[in-house]
Amino acid sequence: MDIPRGISEEIGFRRTMEDEHAFYEDPARLFFSAEIYDGHGGRQPAQIAAQMLTPWFLRSWSRERERPPGERRDEADILREAYLAVDAHLVSRRVQAGTCAAQLYLIGERFLAANAGDSRVVIGTGQGAAVLTEDHKPDTRAERSRVEALGGSVVLLGVPRVEGILAISRALGDACLKPYVSAEPRITEGVLGSENDVAVLACDGVWDVLSPGEVIDAARQERDPRKGAEGISRMALDRGSTDNITVIVLDLRKYTSVLKNRKMVIQKVHDRA
């Protein structure tokens, strides 16, 4: 699939790099994915998730397509199961670390944007930008209520943290913080339009210091998505980001130019947490 892409990875001011990224394509099914995994406590969970999650989705999707049309589950359900399968695998291996996850799946003119944690998927819309994901922070009303209903706590130690440890409330892995840290993804499903010119996936090392509009504007300024990704990384460092930084820029202009719809349409948001 003809989707130019660029990637930039910076260790920042951390001792180790804990981010991973992945791309997958299945042209026969008009499928493309871009993905970011922001590990914490070690890189292993991010590596495992990058290698496992979408292949699990693609295998299950293939099996689903063999069933009668009226009995098939939709892609959002399969993607949710992929998240939970990766999480169960990490927990069963007693991996104490964890990882945030964010994916943008393109299936023809349709898209799925999924996340658990605070990595984001942002897409250009006309002259603006739309955030397709939602940060899972423990101090939001919904996430705090969920954690406390399970018997957990949110403690302010610099920033709000689940059990005084983790500054996000959803992630893959983190066996020691189950069931308070959930692997349930939030999935936005919709249809692309010709207004969608670029998309950016990035970890919180970017979003802590840059707004979605600034990031999309920077991606638009470069015809080469690699230079766009590198420029966004430099901006984040210049603004004072001290975290690992991973940025993916997708140039969607050719891909969306043939679409019949001008406006992007969000059809459903799936969230079972």
From CA 135, how far away is CA 157, in angstroms rounded?
Answer: 19
Is residue 49 classed exposed, middle or buried when 0-12, 13-18 and 19+ CB atoms within 10 A define those classes? buried
Sign of CA dihedral 268, 256, 184, 236: negative
pTM: 0.96
DSSP helix/strand/coil, 53: helix
Cα 100 to Cα 46, 67, 103, 258, distances in angstroms: 8, 32, 11, 33
Contact 248, 36 (CB under 8 A): yes
Number of Cβ atoms within 10 Å of the Cβ of 28: 6
Q: What share of the chain is helix, strand, coil (3-state, %, to 5)?
A: 30, 30, 35
Strand partners, 37: 20, 101
From CA 57, how far away is CA 79, in angstroms rounded?
Answer: 6
Residue found under tokens 């999924």: 114
- The letter for the amino acid at 67 is R
Backbone angles phi, psi at 84, to 5 degrees: -65, -35
234 is written with which tokens? 């430099």
Tens digit of each residue's pLDDT, the chain (273 residues): 789 999 999 998 898 999 999 999 999 999 999 999 999 999 999 999 999 999 999 999 999 888 888 888 999 999 999 999 999 999 999 888 999 999 999 999 999 999 999 999 999 998 899 999 999 999 999 999 999 999 999 999 999 999 999 999 999 999 999 999 999 999 999 999 999 999 999 999 999 999 999 999 999 999 999 999 999 999 999 999 999 999 999 999 999 999 999 999 999 999 999
